[in-house]
Chain A
Amino acid sequence: MKSLLAEHSKLAIAGEQIAILEHGQSGHFNLIPFQQKLEAAGLYPLQPTSLEVFQVNVGKMCNQVCRHCHVDAGPDRKEIMSKETMQLCLDALKNNPSLTTVDITGGAPEMNPHFRWFVEAIKKLERHIIVRCNLTIILANKKYNDLPEFYKEHQVEVVSSLPFYTQDRTDRQRGNGVFDDSIKALQMLNAIGYGLEETGLILNLVYNPAGAFLPPSQLALEKEYKTALSKQYGIAFNNLFAITNLPISRFLDYLLQSGNYEKYMEKLLIAYNPFAAANVMCRNTISVGWDGYLYDCDFNQMLDLKMAGSHNHIAHFNTEKLYNRNIIVGQHCYGCTAGAGSSCGGAVA
């Protein structure tokens, strides 16, 4: 499987995705605009409540090609953040102590050659670091085998996708062999203390639905994951984040190819929850793209919805302007407000 970009799919173009999100593939599918829902809840224009999480996408290169990936990441993607841009991120962090958490994502962020340097430099600034590790990268090459020790040394919180506690569903979404390698990687992380209550080394897992449906209750699912993974593989972890798939990039492609797009969007609309809307992650997060541009969230980043104004690049980082900005919303935002809501940290309501 290749990325949409490598396949020259029209969905590799952000504008094409937005056109489909607004009017469907037929051009005649009109869902209630998300903006109207926010207006009804007194939340439009949507604005930040704080600036706490600094999420950095260090590149689209990945060792996996997951069917639901909103980044359209894969081994054939060459866009990665330069050391110079990382330095600009460090400068922004240094000057803005309110940004207490740095959330590093990709792609497989570890494939960026400057990844370890970046983590070490952030740690020196005394910030909490989250790395979104796909687990299989740890086993992908000898040079990554010591990642668990590296994470431990820098007290990194590891957040890893494991779409389900069975092989079948995981491999369907993430590719053959991913489940077995993920289990081995989780055991390596457990072996040095990750996911065990008394160590303080946090290992959180992420559930994504393997199809055109919404996540079930995060709490109930976490219990099932903990029971199943402990019983079958002796694996422990801290929390499970149940995340809704947003209709972007490869998941959008899947929805269109399988004829599920309109039904899925209607499902998101029916499940719209104003309490979740009030707590969406873009209200406390800044998302930095591999090229240094700033976005309201990783999803807006993939749709190339850059923040408006001259402060939309890390080189011109300005907390006051960022705090007073209006967040860009679109039909894809229904994915973050359905049911219990969805964010990079799981349910929000």
Chain B
Amino acid sequence: METYYNPDDLKKFGNIADFQKKLGEKFFDYYGEVFKDSELTAREKSLIALAVAHAVQCPYCIDAYSSDAFEKGWSEGQMMEAVHVAAAIRGGASLVHGVQMMNKVKEIAM
């Protein structure tokens, strides 16, 4: 079945530089640097990436960082907690706008 998302396309991510070499290379240099061990370990960054992948709902990123986080030793429970963090922030982001709604209603209501 043809779909917009093809798992095999993940392997072709590097090809984005084919259409714009300079920017593509700069992006991948930056990307590589971001995920290196530094003040946060590569392992910690992998779990953050997994949570962010869920927040931005990127199937390629979820595929890549589910494997990467598990490879780096995070347990299923820890990975699911990270996804809950993403879900809580996303849910909270909607809900906190409820204050704006309340403000507006209070402004116009008798």
Contacts and interface: CB of A to CB of B under 8 A. Distances in A.
Interface in B65-80: 67, 70-73, 75
Interface in B57-90: 67, 70-73, 75
A217 B42 contact: yes
A216 B67 contact: no
Interface string A189-210: 0000000000000000000010
A217 B71 CA distance: 10
Contacts of A211: 70
A335 to B, nearest CB: 15
B71 A224 contact: no
Interface residues of A, number: 15
Contacts of A270: 11
A340 interface: no
Interface string A167-185: 0110000000000000000
A123 to B, nearest CB: 37
Contacts of A209: 71
A214 interface: yes
Contact of B70 (A213, A217, A221): A213
Given A216-B43, A220-B41, A220-B42, A164 B73 contact: yes
A29 B37 CA distance: 37
Looking at chain A's contact residues, is the secondary structure mostly helix, strand, loop, or mixed? loop
A211 B75 CA distance: 13
A166 interface: yes
A215 B11 CA distance: 20
Interface string B23-57: 00000000000000100011100000000000000
Nearest to B7: A263
Contacts of A224: 43, 73
B37 A220 contact: yes
Contact of A221 (B11, B67, B73, B75): B73
Given A220-B37, A220-B41, A213 B71 contact: yes
Contacts of A215: 71
Contact of A220 (B11, B43, B67): B43
A287 to B, nearest CB: 28
Interface string A61-87: 000000000000000000000000000
Nearest to A224: B73
B90 to A, nearest CB: 28
A216 B75 contact: no
Nearest to A210: B70
B71 to A, nearest CB: 5
B37 A216 contact: no
A215 B70 CA distance: 10
Nearest to A168: B75
Nearest to A214: B71
Contacts of B43: 216, 220, 224
Nearest to B77: A168
A217 B41 CA distance: 11
Interface string B92-105: 00000000000000
Nearest to A166: B75
B63 to A, nearest CB: 11
Given A164-B73, A224-B43, 4 more contacts: A213-B67, A215-B71, A216-B43, A221-B73
10 contacts: A166-B75, A213-B67, A213-B71, A214-B71, A216-B42, A216-B43, A216-B71, A216-B73, A217-B42, A221-B73
